[in-house]
A = this chain, B = another copy of it.
Amino acid sequence: MSADRSSGGGVSRRQLFGVLGAGAAGAVVGAAGGAGVALAATGGGTTDASGAAASVYPYFGAHQAGIVTPAQDRLHFAAFDVADALDREGLIGLLTEWTDAAARLSQGLEVAEGGAVGGSDYSPPTDTGEALGLPASGLTITFGFGPGLFTDESGADRFGLSARRPAMLEPLPRFQGDALVPEMSGGDLCIQACADDPQVAVHAIRNLSRIAFGRASLRWSQLGFGRTSSTSTTQATPRNLFGFKDGTANVKAEETAIVDDHVWVHASDEPAWLAGGSYLVARRIRMIIENWDRVQLGEQEMLVGRSKGEGAPLSGGTEFTEPDFDKTGATDAPLIDADAHVRLAHPTSNGGARMLRRGYNFVDGNDSLGRLDAGLFFLSFQRSPQQFIDVQTSLARDGLNEYLKHVGSAIFAVPGGVAEGEFVGQALFA
Protein backbone atom coordinates (compact mmCIF):
# COMPACT_ATOMS: atom_id res chain seq x y z
CA MET A 1 0.00 0.00 0.00
CA SER A 2 1.35 3.36 -1.00
CA ALA A 3 1.71 6.08 1.59
CA ASP A 4 -0.51 8.19 -0.63
CA ARG A 5 -4.01 8.07 0.79
CA SER A 6 -5.45 7.77 -2.69
CA SER A 7 -5.79 4.06 -3.22
CA GLY A 8 -6.10 4.47 -6.97
CA GLY A 9 -2.87 6.39 -7.43
CA GLY A 10 -2.63 10.12 -8.02
CA VAL A 11 -6.35 10.67 -8.35
CA SER A 12 -8.55 9.35 -5.59
CA ARG A 13 -11.22 6.71 -5.90
CA ARG A 14 -13.85 9.25 -5.02
CA GLN A 15 -12.72 11.53 -7.80
CA LEU A 16 -12.72 8.67 -10.26
CA PHE A 17 -16.20 7.63 -9.28
CA GLY A 18 -17.19 11.27 -9.31
CA VAL A 19 -20.32 10.66 -7.32
CA LEU A 20 -19.71 12.32 -3.99
CA GLY A 21 -20.36 15.79 -2.72
CA ALA A 22 -17.84 17.67 -0.68
CA GLY A 23 -15.17 15.05 -1.06
CA ALA A 24 -15.02 15.46 -4.78
CA ALA A 25 -15.73 19.16 -5.03
CA GLY A 26 -12.87 21.24 -6.29
CA ALA A 27 -11.02 18.13 -7.31
CA VAL A 28 -7.43 18.72 -8.24
CA VAL A 29 -6.78 16.36 -11.06
CA GLY A 30 -3.21 15.21 -11.08
CA ALA A 31 -2.32 16.93 -7.85
CA ALA A 32 -3.74 14.52 -5.28
CA GLY A 33 -0.29 13.27 -4.37
CA GLY A 34 0.77 16.86 -4.15
CA ALA A 35 3.53 16.72 -1.57
CA GLY A 36 5.74 18.32 -4.14
CA VAL A 37 3.32 21.02 -5.22
CA ALA A 38 4.89 24.38 -4.52
CA LEU A 39 2.55 27.33 -4.16
CA ALA A 40 2.68 30.81 -2.74
CA ALA A 41 1.89 30.58 0.94
CA THR A 42 -0.93 33.07 0.76
CA GLY A 43 -2.02 32.14 -2.73
CA GLY A 44 -5.01 30.16 -3.80
CA GLY A 45 -3.43 26.76 -4.22
CA THR A 46 -4.15 24.76 -7.32
CA THR A 47 -7.43 24.98 -9.17
CA ASP A 48 -9.36 22.49 -11.23
CA ALA A 49 -10.62 22.80 -14.78
CA SER A 50 -13.73 24.70 -13.71
CA GLY A 51 -11.74 27.23 -11.69
CA ALA A 52 -13.09 25.98 -8.39
CA ALA A 53 -11.08 26.48 -5.23
CA ALA A 54 -8.08 24.30 -4.69
CA SER A 55 -7.88 21.02 -2.90
CA VAL A 56 -4.22 21.07 -1.90
CA TYR A 57 -2.57 23.91 0.03
CA PRO A 58 1.12 23.96 0.91
CA TYR A 59 1.94 23.44 4.56
CA PHE A 60 5.26 25.30 4.58
CA GLY A 61 5.44 29.04 3.93
CA ALA A 62 5.80 32.52 5.37
CA HIS A 63 2.56 32.16 7.33
CA GLN A 64 0.61 29.17 8.59
CA ALA A 65 -2.08 28.06 6.18
CA GLY A 66 -5.69 28.30 7.29
CA ILE A 67 -5.71 32.03 7.93
CA VAL A 68 -5.85 33.83 4.58
CA THR A 69 -6.56 30.53 2.82
CA PRO A 70 -10.01 30.85 1.20
CA ALA A 71 -12.25 29.62 4.02
CA GLN A 72 -13.06 25.96 3.52
CA ASP A 73 -16.58 24.67 4.08
CA ARG A 74 -16.00 22.54 7.20
CA LEU A 75 -14.12 22.82 10.49
CA HIS A 76 -12.90 20.67 13.33
CA PHE A 77 -11.31 22.77 16.04
CA ALA A 78 -9.62 21.35 19.12
CA ALA A 79 -8.13 22.87 22.27
CA PHE A 80 -5.70 20.88 24.40
CA ASP A 81 -4.38 20.95 27.94
CA VAL A 82 -0.75 19.93 28.29
CA ALA A 83 -0.09 17.06 30.67
CA ASP A 84 1.25 17.86 34.12
CA ALA A 85 4.35 15.78 33.47
CA LEU A 86 5.27 17.47 30.19
CA ASP A 87 8.57 19.35 30.16
CA ARG A 88 10.20 21.66 27.64
CA GLU A 89 11.84 18.85 25.73
CA GLY A 90 8.59 16.94 25.62
CA LEU A 91 6.74 19.97 24.34
CA ILE A 92 9.27 20.47 21.56
CA GLY A 93 8.95 16.79 20.72
CA LEU A 94 5.17 17.08 20.47
CA LEU A 95 5.33 20.17 18.26
CA THR A 96 7.87 18.45 16.02
CA GLU A 97 5.68 15.39 15.59
CA TRP A 98 2.60 17.53 15.05
CA THR A 99 4.43 19.53 12.37
CA ASP A 100 5.57 16.43 10.53
CA ALA A 101 2.10 14.93 10.58
CA ALA A 102 0.35 18.17 9.61
CA ALA A 103 2.68 18.68 6.67
CA ARG A 104 1.78 15.22 5.36
CA LEU A 105 -1.94 15.32 6.12
CA SER A 106 -2.41 18.66 4.37
CA GLN A 107 -1.02 17.09 1.19
CA GLY A 108 -3.49 14.21 1.30
CA LEU A 109 -0.96 11.76 2.73
CA GLU A 110 -1.29 9.54 5.76
CA VAL A 111 0.19 10.55 9.11
CA ALA A 112 3.39 8.65 8.39
CA GLU A 113 4.80 6.18 5.88
CA GLY A 114 3.04 2.86 6.25
CA GLY A 115 -0.05 4.49 7.57
CA ALA A 116 -3.38 2.83 8.08
CA VAL A 117 -2.38 -0.54 6.69
CA GLY A 118 1.00 -0.63 8.39
CA GLY A 119 2.23 -1.33 11.87
CA SER A 120 3.60 -4.59 13.17
CA ASP A 121 2.94 -7.32 15.72
CA TYR A 122 4.10 -4.83 18.31
CA SER A 123 2.59 -1.58 17.09
CA PRO A 124 -0.77 -0.50 15.72
CA PRO A 125 -1.12 1.37 12.41
CA THR A 126 0.23 4.93 12.49
CA ASP A 127 -2.86 6.30 10.73
CA THR A 128 -6.44 5.63 11.76
CA GLY A 129 -7.51 5.13 8.17
CA GLU A 130 -10.88 6.81 7.77
CA ALA A 131 -9.48 9.22 5.17
CA LEU A 132 -7.99 6.46 3.01
CA GLY A 133 -8.96 7.17 -0.57
CA LEU A 134 -10.02 10.74 0.09
CA PRO A 135 -8.18 13.65 -1.50
CA ALA A 136 -6.58 16.43 0.57
CA SER A 137 -9.89 18.33 0.26
CA GLY A 138 -8.19 21.67 0.89
CA LEU A 139 -7.12 20.64 4.40
CA THR A 140 -5.22 23.24 6.38
CA ILE A 141 -3.92 22.72 9.91
CA THR A 142 -3.18 25.78 12.02
CA PHE A 143 -1.55 25.60 15.45
CA GLY A 144 -1.85 28.09 18.31
CA PHE A 145 -0.38 28.58 21.79
CA GLY A 146 -2.62 29.52 24.72
CA PRO A 147 -1.69 31.60 27.78
CA GLY A 148 -1.19 28.50 29.91
CA LEU A 149 1.77 27.42 27.84
CA PHE A 150 3.74 30.37 29.15
CA THR A 151 2.74 30.35 32.80
CA ASP A 152 0.62 27.60 34.22
CA GLU A 153 -2.10 27.98 36.85
CA SER A 154 0.31 27.61 39.70
CA GLY A 155 2.50 30.35 38.25
CA ALA A 156 5.24 27.87 37.43
CA ASP A 157 7.33 28.28 34.32
CA ARG A 158 8.06 24.67 33.53
CA PHE A 159 8.67 25.25 29.83
CA GLY A 160 10.95 28.22 30.43
CA LEU A 161 8.71 30.41 28.29
CA SER A 162 7.30 32.98 30.69
CA ALA A 163 9.72 35.70 29.66
CA ARG A 164 8.60 35.25 26.06
CA ARG A 165 4.92 35.46 26.74
CA PRO A 166 3.20 38.07 24.57
CA ALA A 167 1.93 40.78 26.91
CA MET A 168 -1.50 40.67 25.24
CA LEU A 169 -1.84 36.90 25.46
CA GLU A 170 -4.15 36.55 28.40
CA PRO A 171 -7.73 35.40 28.84
CA LEU A 172 -10.11 37.92 27.31
CA PRO A 173 -11.81 40.36 29.69
CA ARG A 174 -15.37 39.64 30.67
CA PHE A 175 -17.80 41.12 28.16
CA GLN A 176 -21.42 41.99 28.81
CA GLY A 177 -23.59 38.95 28.28
CA ASP A 178 -20.80 36.42 28.69
CA ALA A 179 -22.03 33.11 30.11
CA LEU A 180 -18.80 31.22 29.72
CA VAL A 181 -18.53 27.53 30.46
CA PRO A 182 -15.00 26.53 31.55
CA GLU A 183 -15.30 23.18 29.73
CA MET A 184 -15.75 25.07 26.44
CA SER A 185 -13.11 27.72 27.10
CA GLY A 186 -9.36 28.16 27.26
CA GLY A 187 -6.67 25.68 26.36
CA ASP A 188 -2.86 25.55 26.28
CA LEU A 189 -2.67 24.55 22.61
CA CYS A 190 -5.10 24.62 19.75
CA ILE A 191 -5.46 23.12 16.32
CA GLN A 192 -7.78 24.49 13.67
CA ALA A 193 -8.41 21.93 10.92
CA CYS A 194 -10.40 23.21 7.95
CA ALA A 195 -11.29 21.21 4.85
CA ASP A 196 -14.00 20.89 2.27
CA ASP A 197 -14.73 17.35 3.49
CA PRO A 198 -15.51 17.03 7.23
CA GLN A 199 -14.20 13.46 7.27
CA VAL A 200 -10.78 14.85 6.34
CA ALA A 201 -10.89 17.54 9.04
CA VAL A 202 -12.03 15.04 11.68
CA HIS A 203 -9.33 12.61 10.59
CA ALA A 204 -6.69 15.30 11.11
CA ILE A 205 -7.82 16.26 14.62
CA ARG A 206 -8.22 12.63 15.63
CA ASN A 207 -4.75 11.67 14.47
CA LEU A 208 -3.08 14.74 15.95
CA SER A 209 -4.87 14.07 19.27
CA ARG A 210 -3.61 10.54 19.10
CA ILE A 211 -0.04 11.70 18.54
CA ALA A 212 -0.38 13.89 21.63
CA PHE A 213 -1.39 10.96 23.83
CA GLY A 214 0.19 11.32 27.29
CA ARG A 215 1.52 14.79 26.48
CA ALA A 216 -1.62 16.82 25.77
CA SER A 217 -5.29 15.91 25.99
CA LEU A 218 -8.39 17.29 24.37
CA ARG A 219 -9.96 19.97 26.53
CA TRP A 220 -12.77 20.89 24.15
CA SER A 221 -13.49 20.57 20.47
CA GLN A 222 -15.98 21.92 18.01
CA LEU A 223 -17.24 20.89 14.61
CA GLY A 224 -18.47 23.56 12.24
CA PHE A 225 -20.61 22.52 9.31
CA GLY A 226 -20.77 25.68 7.26
CA ARG A 227 -18.50 28.68 6.98
CA THR A 228 -19.90 32.08 7.91
CA SER A 229 -17.30 34.28 6.27
CA SER A 230 -15.55 34.67 2.98
CA THR A 231 -11.82 35.29 3.11
CA SER A 232 -11.40 35.72 -0.62
CA THR A 233 -13.08 37.95 -3.16
CA THR A 234 -13.73 34.82 -5.21
CA GLN A 235 -16.10 33.40 -2.59
CA ALA A 236 -19.82 34.07 -2.32
CA THR A 237 -20.91 35.33 1.10
CA PRO A 238 -22.43 32.54 3.18
CA ARG A 239 -25.26 32.89 5.70
CA ASN A 240 -25.26 32.40 9.44
CA LEU A 241 -28.10 30.78 11.39
CA PHE A 242 -29.88 34.12 11.76
CA GLY A 243 -30.42 33.70 8.00
CA PHE A 244 -28.31 36.74 7.16
CA LYS A 245 -25.24 36.94 4.98
CA ASP A 246 -22.23 37.07 7.26
CA GLY A 247 -18.77 38.40 6.59
CA THR A 248 -19.61 40.73 3.69
CA ALA A 249 -17.16 43.31 5.04
CA ASN A 250 -14.59 40.73 6.15
CA VAL A 251 -10.90 41.26 5.44
CA LYS A 252 -10.12 39.47 2.18
CA ALA A 253 -6.84 37.75 1.37
CA GLU A 254 -6.47 39.82 -1.77
CA GLU A 255 -6.38 43.04 0.28
CA THR A 256 -2.74 42.46 1.07
CA ALA A 257 -2.09 45.84 2.65
CA ILE A 258 -5.04 45.44 5.00
CA VAL A 259 -4.02 41.89 5.83
CA ASP A 260 -0.54 43.09 6.57
CA ASP A 261 -1.76 45.89 8.79
CA HIS A 262 -4.51 44.07 10.64
CA VAL A 263 -3.77 40.34 10.62
CA TRP A 264 -0.04 39.62 10.79
CA VAL A 265 2.17 40.35 13.77
CA HIS A 266 5.17 42.38 12.60
CA ALA A 267 8.80 41.91 13.53
CA SER A 268 8.62 45.30 15.23
CA ASP A 269 5.74 44.14 17.44
CA GLU A 270 6.41 42.38 20.70
CA PRO A 271 7.43 39.58 20.96
CA ALA A 272 9.69 39.05 17.96
CA TRP A 273 9.20 35.28 17.88
CA LEU A 274 5.57 35.85 16.86
CA ALA A 275 6.47 37.79 13.69
CA GLY A 276 4.48 36.50 10.74
CA GLY A 277 1.94 35.06 13.13
CA SER A 278 -1.36 36.31 14.46
CA TYR A 279 -3.71 36.15 17.44
CA LEU A 280 -6.66 33.82 17.22
CA VAL A 281 -9.84 34.46 19.18
CA ALA A 282 -12.42 31.66 19.41
CA ARG A 283 -15.91 32.26 20.78
CA ARG A 284 -18.67 29.69 20.95
CA ILE A 285 -21.77 31.83 20.49
CA ARG A 286 -25.05 30.04 21.07
CA MET A 287 -27.90 31.58 19.09
CA ILE A 288 -31.35 31.47 20.64
CA ILE A 289 -32.76 30.77 17.22
CA GLU A 290 -36.28 29.88 18.38
CA ASN A 291 -36.70 33.42 19.72
CA TRP A 292 -35.03 34.99 16.72
CA ASP A 293 -37.40 33.14 14.42
CA ARG A 294 -40.33 34.95 16.05
CA VAL A 295 -38.95 38.38 15.20
CA GLN A 296 -40.50 40.18 12.24
CA LEU A 297 -38.37 40.76 9.19
CA GLY A 298 -38.26 44.56 9.61
CA GLU A 299 -36.95 44.27 13.14
CA GLN A 300 -34.43 41.59 12.19
CA GLU A 301 -33.10 43.88 9.46
CA MET A 302 -33.04 46.89 11.78
CA LEU A 303 -31.04 44.95 14.37
CA VAL A 304 -28.52 43.81 11.77
CA GLY A 305 -28.51 47.00 9.68
CA ARG A 306 -28.70 45.10 6.39
CA SER A 307 -31.44 43.59 4.25
CA LYS A 308 -31.94 39.86 4.69
CA GLY A 309 -32.21 38.89 1.04
CA GLU A 310 -29.44 40.84 -0.63
CA GLY A 311 -27.42 41.75 2.41
CA ALA A 312 -27.31 45.41 1.36
CA PRO A 313 -26.86 48.07 4.04
CA LEU A 314 -30.16 49.72 4.96
CA SER A 315 -28.68 52.99 3.72
CA GLY A 316 -29.09 51.58 0.22
CA GLY A 317 -27.20 49.96 -2.61
CA THR A 318 -26.18 46.34 -2.95
CA GLU A 319 -24.30 43.88 -0.75
CA PHE A 320 -20.88 45.43 -1.17
CA THR A 321 -22.00 49.07 -1.03
CA GLU A 322 -20.31 50.78 1.89
CA PRO A 323 -22.88 51.60 4.62
CA ASP A 324 -23.74 55.30 4.93
CA PHE A 325 -24.25 55.73 8.66
CA ASP A 326 -25.33 59.35 8.38
CA LYS A 327 -27.99 58.90 5.75
CA THR A 328 -31.50 59.58 7.02
CA GLY A 329 -34.85 58.62 5.60
CA ALA A 330 -38.26 60.23 5.78
CA THR A 331 -37.65 61.08 9.43
CA ASP A 332 -34.44 62.50 10.81
CA ALA A 333 -33.44 59.11 12.13
CA PRO A 334 -30.54 57.40 10.36
CA LEU A 335 -31.54 54.54 8.06
CA ILE A 336 -29.00 52.39 9.87
CA ASP A 337 -30.02 52.37 13.51
CA ALA A 338 -27.71 53.81 16.14
CA ASP A 339 -27.34 50.38 17.72
CA ALA A 340 -27.42 48.29 14.53
CA HIS A 341 -24.88 45.47 14.47
CA VAL A 342 -23.29 46.66 11.23
CA ARG A 343 -22.65 50.10 12.74
CA LEU A 344 -21.25 48.90 16.06
CA ALA A 345 -19.01 46.34 14.38
CA HIS A 346 -17.77 48.73 11.72
CA PRO A 347 -14.16 49.97 11.86
CA THR A 348 -15.40 53.57 12.14
CA SER A 349 -16.93 52.66 15.53
CA ASN A 350 -13.75 50.95 16.69
CA GLY A 351 -10.81 53.17 15.88
CA GLY A 352 -10.33 51.42 12.56
CA ALA A 353 -10.05 47.94 14.08
CA ARG A 354 -10.50 45.14 11.57
CA MET A 355 -10.23 41.37 11.95
CA LEU A 356 -10.11 38.45 9.59
CA ARG A 357 -13.11 36.35 10.55
CA ARG A 358 -13.24 32.66 9.79
CA GLY A 359 -16.20 31.37 11.76
CA TYR A 360 -18.53 28.43 11.23
CA ASN A 361 -22.16 27.52 11.90
CA PHE A 362 -22.63 24.72 14.37
CA VAL A 363 -25.47 22.51 15.62
CA ASP A 364 -24.67 20.21 18.54
CA GLY A 365 -27.97 18.45 19.15
CA ASN A 366 -30.49 20.15 21.40
CA ASP A 367 -31.06 21.09 25.01
CA SER A 368 -33.57 19.56 27.40
CA LEU A 369 -36.14 22.16 26.36
CA GLY A 370 -36.05 20.92 22.78
CA ARG A 371 -34.16 23.96 21.51
CA LEU A 372 -31.36 23.34 19.03
CA ASP A 373 -27.92 23.86 20.54
CA ALA A 374 -26.91 25.91 17.54
CA GLY A 375 -25.05 29.06 16.70
CA LEU A 376 -21.86 30.59 15.48
CA PHE A 377 -18.42 29.31 16.32
CA PHE A 378 -16.66 32.62 15.88
CA LEU A 379 -13.00 32.59 14.89
CA SER A 380 -11.01 35.72 14.13
CA PHE A 381 -7.36 36.40 13.39
CA GLN A 382 -5.85 39.76 14.23
CA ARG A 383 -2.50 41.41 14.77
CA SER A 384 -3.43 42.21 18.36
CA PRO A 385 -6.15 40.90 20.69
CA GLN A 386 -7.04 44.55 21.27
CA GLN A 387 -8.76 44.63 17.90
CA PHE A 388 -11.21 41.97 19.03
CA ILE A 389 -11.62 43.55 22.46
CA ASP A 390 -12.46 46.92 20.92
CA VAL A 391 -15.10 45.50 18.62
CA GLN A 392 -16.63 43.23 21.24
CA THR A 393 -16.79 46.11 23.70
CA SER A 394 -18.54 48.21 21.09
CA LEU A 395 -21.06 45.41 20.58
CA ALA A 396 -22.25 45.67 24.21
CA ARG A 397 -25.17 47.79 22.92
CA ASP A 398 -25.92 45.41 20.06
CA GLY A 399 -29.62 44.49 19.97
CA LEU A 400 -28.65 41.06 18.65
CA ASN A 401 -27.30 40.23 22.10
CA GLU A 402 -30.83 39.38 23.18
CA TYR A 403 -30.55 36.35 20.86
CA LEU A 404 -26.93 35.42 21.65
CA LYS A 405 -25.11 33.75 24.50
CA HIS A 406 -21.31 33.53 24.52
CA VAL A 407 -20.61 30.19 26.17
CA GLY A 408 -17.03 29.54 25.10
CA SER A 409 -13.98 31.77 24.81
CA ALA A 410 -10.31 31.20 24.08
CA ILE A 411 -7.29 33.06 22.81
CA PHE A 412 -4.16 31.74 21.20
CA ALA A 413 -0.94 33.16 19.77
CA VAL A 414 -0.55 31.66 16.32
CA PRO A 415 3.11 31.38 15.35
CA GLY A 416 4.29 32.39 11.89
CA GLY A 417 4.82 30.04 9.02
CA VAL A 418 6.99 26.96 9.15
CA ALA A 419 9.99 26.28 6.94
CA GLU A 420 10.81 22.73 5.91
CA GLY A 421 12.95 21.11 8.58
CA GLU A 422 11.54 23.33 11.32
CA PHE A 423 8.70 22.70 13.75
CA VAL A 424 5.82 25.07 14.29
CA GLY A 425 6.71 27.82 16.76
CA GLN A 426 10.39 26.97 16.69
CA ALA A 427 11.37 30.65 17.08
CA LEU A 428 9.69 30.64 20.50
CA PHE A 429 12.23 28.10 21.71
CA ALA A 430 15.28 29.60 20.00
Residues of A within 8 A of B (CB): 1, 7, 13-14, 17-26, 50-53, 70, 72-74, 76, 81, 116-125, 127-133, 137-138, 183, 196-199, 202, 205-206, 209-210, 213, 217-223, 225-226, 232, 234-236, 238-244, 289-290, 293-298, 300, 307-310, 361, 363-366, 368-372, 374
Contact = CB atoms under 8 A, between A and B. Distances in A.
B17 A26 contact: no
Given A294-B124, A309-B116, A370-B219, A363 B76 contact: yes
Contacts of A366: 218, 220-221
Given A129-B308, A218-B370, A235 B19 contact: yes
A129 B243 CA distance: 4
Nearest to A70: B19
A309 B73 contact: no
Nearest to A369: B217
A196 B198 CA distance: 12
A254 to B, nearest CB: 13
Given A121-B296, A217-B370, A297-B118, A202 B223 contact: no
A32 to B, nearest CB: 14
Contact of A221 (B129, B243, B365): B365
A243 B210 CA distance: 14
Given A19-B52, A220-B365, 14 more contacts: A19-B232, A20-B73, A21-B197, A25-B25, A74-B225, A124-B297, A125-B308, A132-B308, A133-B236, A133-B239, A198-B226, A199-B361, A202-B361, A221-B366
